[in-house]
Structure 1
C-alpha cells in the first residue's frame, strides 16, 4: 500500500500557524491583557540566586583524577573539559570546560484552537540564570529526563503526560541541538502537540496566539530560549504565509519578506545545492574534540571558588545556591556557565530579485553532533576578540553594527537560564548591501522557505539562528 502524502496535512498546518501569527488578539484579550498577565505572574514568583564556591555545592562532587564536577545521583549533567583542534581555523587549538548533559529533555508546547485560531499554552517561569531573576515566557513543559523521571524528588510536572505519548497529535516533534560552544552534543526533543478542548490553563499558564508571542519577543529578556527554539520549528507558512502577510509598506520590505516564505519564489541556491554545501562543509572541516582533565586545564585558572580563563574573557564556571517558590524543588545548588560579556547575534538580509534572502554561516563548534550547523551571519562576543588574532574577527561584524545598515529587529534576549548565568545577547536583523561569491565556502544566501525545509530535520540550523528565524517571521505580524 502506498503511504498517503503528507503535503496536504503540512499545508493545512502552515495555514493555521500563519493565522495565529497574524492574530494579536486572543482568548485572553489584546496585548495589554498579555502584559497584565505577565505582571501578575511575576508578582506571584520569588527566586534568589546566590554565588557560592564550586566546592560548597551540596550534592556535587569533584572527581579526584579528572576534576570533573558531577551530581551525586549520576544524573542531570556534569562539567567536564575538552581539547579542541579545528583545522584551518584562525584559532586552531584550545582547551575549555564544557557541560556534558547526555539526557534528551523535553521542550514542549501545547496548542489548542479558540474561535478558529491556534493558541499556545505558555508558562510564566523563572530560572536561576535569568537576568535579575525575571519571569519569562516559557514552554508548557521544559524538563530534563532527570526532572521528568523524578530524580529531583520534586513535585510532578504539569501537562507532562501530553508529551510522553503524543501519537498523531504532534505538529512538531524533532530533536535539535543547543549551544555547541558550551554544551557537548546536547539535544532536546522540541515538540508542539495539539490538545483537546478539555485542557485548561492552570495557574501560572496562559493561552496566547503566536502573534502575541511575536509581539512580546521584542521586549528584552522576556521570551526564554526554549520557547524560541520550539516555535522556530513550526511549519513556517509556505504559500499561506506569502498570501497572508500584508504588503502595503512603502519600502516594500513586507512584500519581499512574504515572497521569501513562498517556496515557489526564486532563490540564489536550490535547497539541494544548500544541502550539498552543508555536506561538503562537514566533510572538509577537521574538528577533533577529546576529553582531558579539568584540573590544571591549560589557559584556565581556579580561584575564588570558580574556574575562569586566564585572560578574564570567554566564560567562567561558577557555583550558585538557589531558593525559589513555585518550582518543583524549592532549594538546590548547581554549577553554571557565566559568560564574560554580552554577545552579538545577527542576520544580514538582502533583497535579491525581489525576494528577501538571509546570509548564513557554516559554523563549527566543539559540541555539535555533526561538525557544522548553519549559524547567523554574525555570532560572537565582541569583547573576546581583544585576546584573539585579528583574522578571527567575524567577517560581517562591522556590517551589522554600521549606521548604514537598516535595522529590522533589535533586542537583547537571554539564553537558557537553567545552565547559563545571565547570558545575554543582542539579536539583530539588518538589511545591508553586501556581496558574497556564489561559491564562498563559508556563507550562502537562503530564503525563509528554505529555512522551513531545513528546520524539519535535526542539526541543520543552530539554536541562535533558530531564534532569529522566529524573529524574522515575527516581523510579518508587526506590519
Structure 2
C-alpha cells in the first residue's frame, strides 16, 4: 500500500470529520428497518420454486445448477468418523467496498441491506455483496448495484484484493473475494447507501448486530502492518506519532519483540497440512446415519446441532423481490474469543491452529476459543481457562453480539469477545496448537489469502487504531 493511502485509511479511523454524523447514520438505519417491507416464513422444500432434492446424487440443489447446494459429507480423522450436511458453493463471490478521498480521509460507501436470515432486518453491508450467480443474473433479476466499479476497476485503484475463506464447518471450500476499490470521480449514492468513515463503521460494531459479517471481513484486510508496507523511517515516525498512545496500534505496527517469527508459523501450518490424515467423502443426505431428512427440516437425531430449514422470502428492493431457499439454523449462540497478553511490552493474541472440514487448505489460524455457548467442547487447558474467564466477566476489552451471514444462516449470532489474560494463565500449560502473535502478524497473514479464518478476521476488525 502506498503511504498516502495508508494515511487516508488511518485518518478515516482516527478523525471525527464525517459526511454525516453518527446520530444521522443511526436514524437512517432505524428508518430503513421500519420502511423496508419483508416477509420471511418457513416452508417445505417441495413448495420452494426452483429448489429440489436430487435423489440421484442425494443433494438439495437449485434447478439452474447455480447458487449453492447442500450435500452430505463423511469426515474421517484419527479413527473418528463424523457426518453432516454442508453447503457447497464453489463460486467465488464479491465482497467489495468503494472508497473515496475527501480532505485526505477515505470514506466507505456502505449499504443498508436485509438478508433473509438477519435477526434484525437491516445490517451495514459492503457496497457490493454478490455471488457469481447474482452478478451473472441467473435469478433473472437486476444486476447488483455498483458491480461495474469492481468489474472494471483499474489495478492502480484496487487498494487490496484477497481471497478469503468462509465458515469451514458449514461451507465446503468456499471463498470470497475481499476487495476495496477507490474512485476519483463523484458517483451517485443510491437510496440504501451512505458514505461512512472507518471510525463510524467501527463505532457501529459496538452495537449488537448492526454491522454484518461481510463488512467485518473486508475491513480486517486493511493493511496496517509494516511487514509489506515499505515505508521510509520518516513515514513510519509519522504513523507512530498518530497512534502513539494506542497499545493495539503498537501491536499492529511492531517491527520487533515478537514471541515467535512468522516463518515458524508457516512451518507449523505446512507440517499440519503435510501430516494431516483427514479424509472427506461426499455422501447422499439420506445416507447420513444420525440425520433426519424430511420435507420441512433436516436435523441431527442424536445431538444438538444446526438444522437445515426452508423459507419463502420477500424483501423489498433486492435484485429479485421474492424467492425461496434453504437456510442453516444454528444450534445456539457461539462464543468466539481472543485472549491477549502483554509480551515484551507488546500486546499478543493467542491464536489457535484450527482445522475444519470445509476450509480450503486443511488448517487456518483461528481465535483462542470458538465453542457453542450452552454446550461448549472444552478440550484443553486454554479453552477451559478462556471460557471460565469470560463467565467471570473480568478483563473484558471487547464484547458484542454479532451475526453470521444472513444469506445462508438463519438468526445465527456469536458473542465476539477480546479479553486480557491475568496472572493465573500458566504459559507452560499452553499446548503447541496455540501461538502468541501480534496484531500486525495476524494482519500480515490475512493479506496472504486464506491463512486466517473468518472468526479470527472478524474479531480483529473490532479493534480500532484509535481506541
Q: Determine if the TM-score, normalized by the shorter chain, exceeds 0.5.
A: yes
Are 1:200 and 2:188 matched, yes or no?
Answer: yes
| Structure 1 contact 68–78 (Cα < 8 Å) conserved | yes
Corresponding residue of 1:6: none
Q: Which ranges in structure 1 are unaligned for 5 or more consecutive residues?
A: 1-8, 248-253
Cα-to-partner distance string for 1:82-118 (whole Å, 9 max, x where unaligned): 0012338xxx320000000011111100000122210
Change (3 A) 1:290 1:436: farther
Give the superposition deviation at 1:391.
6.7
Where do residues 129-208 of structure 1 align in structure 2 (5 Å cutoff)? 129-132=117-120, 134-168=121-155, 169-208=157-196
| Structure 1 contact 313–383 (Cα < 8 Å) conserved | no
TM-score scaled by length of structure 2: 0.92
Give the superposition deviation at 1:402.
4.1
Are 1:54 and 2:45 matched, yes or no?
Answer: yes
Are 1:27 and 2:19 matched, yes or no?
Answer: yes
For 1:303 and 1:63, how far apart are their aligned partners in 2? Answer: 13
256, 260, 270: which is aligned to 1:279? 270
Corresponding residue of 1:381: 372
| Structure 1 contact 314–384 (Cα < 8 Å) conserved | no
| Structure 2 contact 58–283 (Cα < 8 Å) conserved | no
Where do residues 418-433 of structure 1 align in structure 2 (5 Å cutoff)? 418-433=407-422
Stretch deviating more after TM superposition (399-408 or 92-101): 399-408
Give the aligned length.
Answer: 454
Where do residues 20-419 of structure 1 align in structure 2 (5 Å cutoff)? 20-28=12-20, 30-87=21-78, 92-132=80-120, 134-168=121-155, 169-236=157-224, 238=226, 239=236, 242-245=240-243, 247=245, 254=246, 256-303=247-294, 305-311=296-302, 313-385=304-376, 394-403=383-392, 405-419=394-408
| Structure 1 contact 236–261 (Cα < 8 Å) conserved | yes
CA RMSD, Structure 1 to Structure 2 (Å): 2.1
For 1:284 and 1:345, how far apart are their aligned partners in 2? Answer: 27
For 1:259 and 1:198, how far apart are their aligned partners in 2? Answer: 35
| Structure 1 contact 338–423 (Cα < 8 Å) conserved | yes
For 1:439 and 1:221, how far apart are their aligned partners in 2? Answer: 33
Give the superposition deviation at 1:175.
0.7
Cα-to-partner distance string for 1:28-71 (whole Å, 9 max, x where unaligned): 2x211221222233233121111112232221111113431010
Stretch deviating more after TM superposition (75-84 or 45-54): 45-54
| Structure 1 contact 405–432 (Cα < 8 Å) conserved | no
Q: Which ranges in structure 2 are unaligned for 5 or more consecutive residues?
A: 227-235
Corresponding residue of 2:233: none
For 2:347 and 2:326, how far apart are their aligned partners in 1? Answer: 42
Change (3 A) 1:36 1:265: farther
For 1:436 and 1:86, how far apart are their aligned partners in 2? Answer: 29
Give the superposition deviation at 1:441.
2.3
Give the superposition deviation at 1:270.
1.3
For 1:280 and 1:14, how far apart are their aligned partners in 2? Answer: 35
For 1:436 and 1:57, how far apart are their aligned partners in 2? Answer: 54
For 2:153 and 2:35, how far apart are their aligned partners in 1? Answer: 31
For 2:8 and 2:394, how far apart are their aligned partners in 1? Answer: 34
Corresponding residue of 1:4: none
Change (3 A) 1:41 1:127: same
Change (3 A) 1:195 1:396: farther
| Structure 1 contact 438–444 (Cα < 8 Å) conserved | no
| Structure 1 contact 177–187 (Cα < 8 Å) conserved | yes
Give the superposition deviation at 1:396.
4.2
| Structure 1 contact 302–308 (Cα < 8 Å) conserved | yes
For 1:241 and 1:442, how far apart are their aligned partners in 2? Answer: 34
| Structure 2 contact 166–454 (Cα < 8 Å) conserved | yes
| Structure 2 contact 292–301 (Cα < 8 Å) conserved | yes
Change (3 A) 1:392 1:417: farther
| Structure 2 contact 224–253 (Cα < 8 Å) conserved | no
For 1:394 and 1:316, how far apart are their aligned partners in 2? Answer: 26
For 2:100 and 2:45, how far apart are their aligned partners in 1? Answer: 44
